[in-house]
Amino acid sequence: MTPVSPSPAATVALRPLDGARLADGFWARRAVTNRAAIPVGYDRLAKVGSIANLRIAAGSQAGEAAGQSFRDSDVYKWLEAVAWEHGRDPDPALLAWLREFGGTLAAAQRKDGYLNSAIQICGEEPYAALWMSHEHYCAGHLFQAAVAAARATGETGLLEVATRFGDHLADTFGPGADLRPELDGHPVVEMGLVELYRQTGERRYLDLARHFVDARGHGWAAKSGFDPSHYGDPAHYSDRVPVREASTVEGHAVRAIYFAAGATDVAIETGDAELLAAVRRQYDAMRRGKQHVTGAVGSRWDGEAFGEAYELPPDRAYAETCAAIGAMQWAWRLLLATGEPQYADQIELLLYNAVLPGVSLTDADYFYVNTLHRRTGARGDLERSPAHGRRPWFNCACCPPNVMRTLASLPAYLATGTADGLQVHQYAPASLRAGEFAVDVDTAYPWDGQVTVTVREAPPREVELALRVPDWAQGSTLDGRPVPAGAYARVRRVFRAGEQVSLDLPMPARLLVADDRVDATRGCVAVARGPLVYTIEQPDQPDGAVLEDLRIDPSAPLHPEHRSDLLDGVTVLHAEGAVLEPAGSPYRAYGAPAPRTRPAALTLVPYYAWANRGPHPMRVWIPTI
Amino acid sequence: MTPVSPSPAATVALRPLDGARLADGFWARRAVTNRAAIPVGYDRLAKVGSIANLRIAAGSQAGEAAGQSFRDSDVYKWLEAVAWEHGRDPDPALLAWLREFGGTLAAAQRKDGYLNSAIQICGEEPYAALWMSHEHYCAGHLFQAAVAAARATGETGLLEVATRFGDHLADTFGPGADLRPELDGHPVVEMGLVELYRQTGERRYLDLARHFVDARGHGWAAKSGFDPSHYGDPAHYSDRVPVREASTVEGHAVRAIYFAAGATDVAIETGDAELLAAVRRQYDAMRRGKQHVTGAVGSRWDGEAFGEAYELPPDRAYAETCAAIGAMQWAWRLLLATGEPQYADQIELLLYNAVLPGVSLTDADYFYVNTLHRRTGARGDLERSPAHGRRPWFNCACCPPNVMRTLASLPAYLATGTADGLQVHQYAPASLRAGEFAVDVDTAYPWDGQVTVTVREAPPREVELALRVPDWAQGSTLDGRPVPAGAYARVRRVFRAGEQVSLDLPMPARLLVADDRVDATRGCVAVARGPLVYTIEQPDQPDGAVLEDLRIDPSAPLHPEHRSDLLDGVTVLHAEGAVLEPAGSPYRAYGAPAPRTRPAALTLVPYYAWANRGPHPMRVWIPTI
């Protein structure tokens, strides 16, 4: 019951675990909040007309199409959330939604398998402007939702619609002379087709995904009449360089990452080592020069895009919530493919510090853009500006249902396993089972690094328990013995029910500096503790402090304090620093006196929890005194 | 013969000078290049259909409207350049163009005075979507062109069209119950109307300009049905706060600055001290926290907008050429209003370092956006990206003809004067005359700070010669006596023909650091010499140097060297520094070793001259070792 389920023939190092359940704890609380957000999401999808669009296409309601061409995909992502949530915590109301929409979509679907409410209601020709119409994009999200429903509930109504659409795509697109050569401007259908292949065994879906992966990068966008005054660079569509030759990620971040994740799926399922090496190289380039300290990606508002290497401005970080979700999906596929802990480290970083900040703690309010610095006096100038604070929905509403489906499927990311053992990648109170080997994990993570694994059931033979020691966890021990950071600590033996393994991951506060080529954070530190990146936010600072005037003393120790009364329970960090006195002219001679300072105390909170007390000034990167 | 000519009743401290002529030298060379660009501009306007639009509207040509709604304004700005250029250096070909377009526009103009080719050709209702249609904006540029033609050539064909349109506007818009209340989304008509008033004496144009100035800031945009998913913030339209209450500039930079300049015109002509104080306060806020070290303004690509205070990223500086031109126009009006040298300092800074970089040295190629940092490996992702290099024209072509009209009218900015004397604001070889007082200025500025003023003719009574000592010119002398920087050095006496006054402005290279609140340039210096800001550009650095890896030693002296063979003749600066060795991971612990360095020599060129050898990597702010 996981979002990625490699076929038996796939070349993977690890296999997803069906039997993971969250117990109480940090993520279980977030899952409960997310469960409550799902019916709210239905109401918001209904309010903006996204649900009506499908019903109009189905003939069960009258009206005109509302919103952008890709609104169907918002409903599909929400349906995927409904499916995973039913699997996580069954509920007849969730099942009823899946059945209802299975019927609506079947009624809306054309006889030839095509389905897109915007095109059908408006009577437009399918695929006439595929570079911007998102028709394949919507199909990809339908496939993911249908596969989720089948895996999590056994319901196949959506899957039947999906396979008819998949067959239609395979009959229509491809390299053959009688097939259409165009590509969708926004990838995601690649992941969707591979999942559909995994669920149905139908090889043509995988073949079509592979075609879409390799056809990109040969200038199709330029041939498809896209508007050069808008986003005229083929990189915007991941179409500048063939994926096998690309050395980095570029252009529209979500498109690039969804595409790379889809290419990774194809590489896994076809055993394509060259393709796998290419996407690993691209992930590494992203990690080295195009990833914010929170794990978030995307540096430019224009084009919702990656910047150049080392272009990582905290204040104008685009850091779209969907891009972080996509990066997590990509990292998960690379983890399965390689078994390397760096990808599990990435998932931890992304989940806590780039995905979770995208949703409020107690309400279903969202960030589309996740800034790392909101200046004093900042005002929003676009609907998606984080300066407005969190919002219930967006005109372009990709992010909210993406958060819903991600948090609903969270148990899938905790561990992998086979008959030979279990690999625990993320720490949370949970029960995990791989065949006859079942364990309970207990921890106060992310506030404390003590993790206790209790064996509940074990086979009468040697199996291996592998526990990830995060790359930040220097000085860790497993049952008292030192274990290196950035690796799996492994115990291989005949386990017995009731016995315990104890992992201790020390969590001193850490000060981080960026690569010297990152211009935007020079002279600053970021603060992290355990898996969490911290930030200073206005409400926690001295009265009247202007955040731009605060400086941190990097030589002074930071003191943690757990505050159960604050922000749904967080560990805050207390730091020493200073406040700048006001300055005069904007540019002064080098060597002229810097503004004077006076001592000040700073308090840091986890970044994910910011903007839950209103849209206050905030900054992750803090200048040093 | 100047672009701003306050009426006799205006409350100004200084009066423009009709009798200024550039002699040989830096700006005279730029003027010759600009003269050659004007016929090239005609060809480019013709190629994209902007000229055809007007002829189609006039009925002298068949066809459909081409381009955006505001294309007429590109032709008007070009016509203004034609007019000033004819005044600067008369040419029958220029005069013929003015006459030809006078006829075309008269034929295109509706009987009621309305004129807009896009609306007329498409048969649309005028003013139906004024918040985005640019109809007043185009009118404003027509008024400026018509006034320029009248002042520079005596031709009144365009002025007749302009006054008919002005009358139509005054009959249609205003505060009265029978008048329309809407405002144009893009200011400039305010400056145009005041100029039209100055030229014709017709008071209703001034009254309408004052209405437009005070009507803004009361949420008209929100009432006009603008699209909130695009630029929904009233600040984008300078409509968030009434101009008298605004404390800073915000939103779309060109709109904000044109509006403020128009408000300054209104304040001057109506003697409105409150309004003048408001725009001065806003200019000061811009200078303190929203102006790049080059004088350029605009920090955000999205919305072509000002950022928040201290949001000044060199790499994503928007720094639109038009915004710098607008800032220069605004500073010029404030200089006339106040006589304060800070505004002349601003004009110098803007002209050399923010306007001039917008055009190539030898060809008519332009920058729309003027970045202060082009990274190694940068690729353009939008048509206006400076990463593409300079371009002959743009789909949105506001900047090229704006540069043309500015350089064609350059002599107007050199000096002011009355019967009581002359005030010299900008230094260039030139002849200046105010009544009976005439002088020749000789200098090798901007390469050398020695300025010699030779009296050619003087009245037989005391007059005053005021020479600006720039704010950067510490240690200056006038005829050997020390004079303070950031002030006018004044000589008041009975001058005689042939006598000389000698001003010496020392030009050591200067290292500048930004306000400590500017995050994006922390740990960096910018280099300036005299009025010029310098930069490092790839072709001048050691072979294979990666610009992001270069560091400057701020304790080592910089050595100037004049290179007549380079970039049409520039003084370069030689500096000492270092190159970073490659680094590994993107984020490291504070205190962990920084990458190692090895010594390197750096060579700096004036920023205005960058990208004349192709679109190479470049950076103005250089990290220190």
Q: Please name the residue that has the structure tokens 């819903």.
A: A404
Same domain, B455 and B310: no
What pLDDT is recorded for position A215? Answer: 95
Higher pLDDT: A224 or B490? It is B490
Separation between Cα atoms, residue B422 and residue B413, nearest integer Å:
13
Contact B519 A373 (CB under 8 A): yes
A198: Cα within 13 Å, side-chain hemisphere: 28
Tell whether A552 and A583 lie within a shared domain.
Answer: yes
**Which residues does chain A have within 8 Å of residue B246's beta carbon, measured at their own beta carbons?**
none
Nearest residue in chain A measured CA to CA from B514? A587
- What are the CA-CA distances from residue A23 to residues A28, A448, A568, B163 (Å)? 6, 17, 18, 78
Give A201 to chain B, closest Cα distance, Å.
40
- Domain final position from B390, B413, B436: B413
Answer with the one of A467, A485, A504 that is the final residue of a domain: A504
pLDDT for residue A67: 87
CB-based contacts of A554: which residues, under 8 Å, 6+ apart?
A: A511, A525, A624, A625, B590, B591
One of B195, B320, B348, B398 is an active-site residue; which one?
B398
C-beta atoms of B315 and A549 within 8 A: no
Cis before B484 (ω within 30): no
Cα distance between residue A302 and residue B380, in whole Å = 12
- Chain B residue numbers with beta carbons less than 8 Å from the beta carbon of A580 are 516-517
Same domain, yes or no: B220 and B322: yes
Asked if A512 lies within 8 A of B589 by C-beta distance, the reply is: yes
Find chain A residues with C-beta within 8 A of B316's C-beta. 300, 307, 311, 313, 316
- Active site amino acids of A: 304, 398
Identify which has the larger pLDDT, A303 or A473. Answer: A473
- Please report whether residue A159 resides in a domain: yes
pLDDT surpasses 80 at A404: yes
| Closest to B403 in 3D by CA, of B1, B25, B21, B34 | B34
Residue B8 within any structural domain of the chain: no
Find the length of chain B. 625
| In the block, residue with structure tokens 């409105």 | B272
On whether both A516 and A499 belong to a single domain, the answer is no
Instruction: Give the model's pLDDT for residue B229.
Output: 47
Mean model confidence pLDDT for chain A: 95
- B494, B590 Cβ separation under 8 angstroms: no
Q: How far apart are CA B425 and CA B422, in angstroms?
A: 10
Chain A contacts of B250, Cβ < 8 Å?
A: 379
- Does one domain contain both B457 and B548? no
Residue of chain B whose alpha carbon sits nearest to that of A380: B233
Same domain, A500 and A480: yes
What whole-number distance in Å separates Cα of residue B598 and Cα of residue B579? 5
Token pair of B166 as six digits: 């002005």
Neighbours of A553 (CB within 10 A): 16
- The C-alpha atoms of residue A297 and residue A383 are separated, in whole angstroms, by 20
Let me know: does B57 contact B108? Beta carbons within 8 Å. yes
Q: What is the ipTM of this complex?
A: 0.92
Query: Per-residue confidence at A228, pLDDT binned at 50, 70, 90?
Result: low
* CA neighbours closer than 13 Å in the CB half-sphere of residue B393: 19
Nearest residue to B525 via CA among A587, A548, A311: A587
Distance from CA of A562 to the nearest CA of B (A): 24
CATH of the domain at A241: 1.50.10
Instruction: Give the model's pLDDT for residue A593.
Output: 86
Chain A residue numbers with beta carbons less than 8 Å from the beta carbon of B379 are: 233, 235, 250, 308
Cβ-based neighbour number of residue A95 at 10 Å? 17
Asked if the Cβ–Cβ distance from B587 to A293 is below 8 Å, we say yes
> Per the CB < 8 Å rule, is A382 touching B590?
no
CB contact under 8 A, A589 and B380: no
* Cβ contact B519–A518 (<8 Å): no
Would you say residue A8 lies in a domain? no
Name the residue among B26, B146, B42 with its Cα closest to residue B410: B26
**Do B358 and B420 fall within a single domain?**
no
- For B430, the token pair is 């030139």
C-alpha span between A490 and A467 (Å, rounded): 6
Q: Which residues of A touch B592 (CB under 8 A)?
A: 513
Asked if residues A375 and A315 have their Cβ atoms less than 8 Å apart, the reply is: yes
Nearest to A445 by CA among A460, A420, A425, A464: A425
Say if A62 falls within a structural domain.
Answer: yes
Chain B residues touching residue A228 (CB < 8 angstroms): 383, 395
Helix (H) or strand (E) holding A35: helix A26-47
Q: Which of B375, B382, B510 sits opposite A302 (nearest CB)?
A: B382
C-beta separation of B327 from B333 below 8 A: no
CA distance A473 to A463: 25
Question: Cα dihedral sign for A26, A31, A32, A34?
Answer: positive
- List, for residues A309-348, the tens digit of each pLDDT value: 999 999 999 999 999 999 999 999 999 999 999 999 999 9
* Cβ-defined contact of A308 to B513 (cutoff 8 Å): no
Say yes or no for a CB contact (<8 Å) between A313 and B313: yes
Q: Do residues B280 and B209 share a domain? A: yes
B622: nearest CA partner in chain A:
A519
Are A375 and B311 in contact (CB < 8 Å)?
yes
**One-letter amino acid for residue B584 of the chain:** G
Residues of chain B with pLDDT under 50: 229
Q: What share of chain A is helix, strand, coil (3-state, %, to 5)?
A: 40, 20, 40
Whichever domain contains A484, its CATH number is: 2.60.40
Residue A157 inside a domain? The answer is: yes
> What secondary structure does DSSP assign to B209-260, as a single string?
HHHHHHHTTSSHHHHTT--HHHH--GGGGT-SS-TTT--S--SBHHHHHHHH
Q: Are residues B210 and B103 in the same domain?
A: yes
In chain A, what is the greatest distance between 2 CA atoms, to the nearest angstrom?
76
CA of A204 to nearest chain B CA: how many angstroms apart? 35
Based on the fold, state whether residues A498 and A596 are members of the same structural domain.
no
Task: Tell me if A2 is assigned to some domain.
Answer: no
| Alpha-carbon torsion, ordered A399, A402, A407, A412, to 10 deg | -140
d(CA A448, CA A445): 5
Q: Is B123 helix (H, G, I), strand (E, B) or coil?
A: coil
**Closest CA of chain A from B309, distance in Å:** 8
B98 and B197 both lie in a single domain: yes
Separation in Å, CA of B170 to nearest CA in chain A: 32
Task: Supply the DSSP symbol for B305.
Answer: B
pLDDT exceeds cutoff 70 at A273: yes
- Residue B381: list chain A partners with CB under 8 A: 231, 233, 235-236, 251, 302-303, 305
Query: Which amino acid is present at B397?
Result: A
CB contact under 8 A, A291 and B586: yes
| Chain A interface test: which of B240, B385, B519 (most A C-beta within 10 Å) | B519
Among the listed residues B85, B155, B304, B320, the single catalytic one is B304
Task: Give percent of chain A with pLDDT exceeding 90.
Answer: 88
Q: Chain B contacts of A617, Cβ < 8 Å? A: none
- Least Cα separation, residue B31 to chain A (angstroms): 31
B388 within 8 A of B380, measured Cβ to Cβ: yes
Q: Which residues pair with B494 in a beta bridge?
A: B462
Question: Does the annotation count B398 as an active-site position?
Answer: yes
What is the pTM for the complete model shown? 0.94
Selecting from B396, B515, B589 the residue whose C-beta is nearest the C-beta of A586 gives B515
Q: List CB contacts of B92: < 8 A, sequence separation 6 or more.
A: none
Per residue in A166-185, pLDDT (tens digit) is 999 999 999 989 999 999 99
Distance CA B179, CA B177 (A): 6
* Last-in-domain residue among A457, A476, A504: A504
Pairing of strands A462-469, A421-424: parallel
CB distance B522–A594 less than 8 Å?
no
What was the pLDDT predicted at A221?
A: 67
pLDDT at A270: 98
Residues B462 and B357 in one domain: no
**Which of A239, A516, A547, A625 to mutate against chain B (most B CBs within 10 Å)?**
A516
Determine the residue among B231, B368, B587, B621 to mutate to test chain A binding: the one whose Cβ has the most chain A Cβ atoms within 10 Å.
B587
CB B182 within 8 A of CB B127: yes
Give the nearest partner residue to A316 out of B236, B293, B316, using CB atoms. B316
Q: Give pLDDT tens digits for A439-479.
A: 999 999 999 999 999 999 999 999 999 999 999 999 999 99
Q: List strands edge to edge, sheet with B421-424.
A: B415-418, B421-424, B462-469, B487-494
B209 has which bridge partners? none
Residue B454 maps to a domain:
yes
Chain A partners within 8 Å of B526 (Cβ): 587
Residue B260 has phi, psi (to 5 degrees) of -65, -40
d(CA B150, CA B95): 11
Q: With beta carbons under 8 A apart, name residues in chain B contacting A288.
A: 585-586
Query: Is A230's pLDDT higher than 60?
Result: no
| Chain B CA closest to residue A68 | B229
pLDDT at A210 over 60: yes
Q: CA torsion B79→B81→B84→B90, rounded to 10°?
A: -80
Closest Cβ–Cβ partner in A293, A310, A316 for B548: A310
The answer to whether residue B261 sits within a structural domain is yes
Strand, coil or helix: what is B183? Answer: coil
Minimal CA separation from B386 to chain A, in Å = 14
A to B CB pairs, distance under 8 Å: 196
**Cα dihedral sign, A537-A542-A547-A550:** negative
Distance from CA of A229 to the nearest CA of B (A): 6
Enclosing domain of residue B530: 509-623
Q: Can you tell me whether residue B164 is helix, strand or coil? A: helix
Tokens standing for residue B217: 């800031």
CA distance B166 to B599: 64
Three-state SS at A457: strand
- The CA-based angle B455-B460-B462, given to 5 degrees, is 80
Tally the domains of chain A: 3
User: Dihedrals φ, ψ of B544, to 5°?
Assistant: 80, -5
CA distance A223 to chain B (A): 17
Distance CA B184, CA B132 (A): 7
Strand partners, A19: A433
The SS3 of residue B294 is: coil
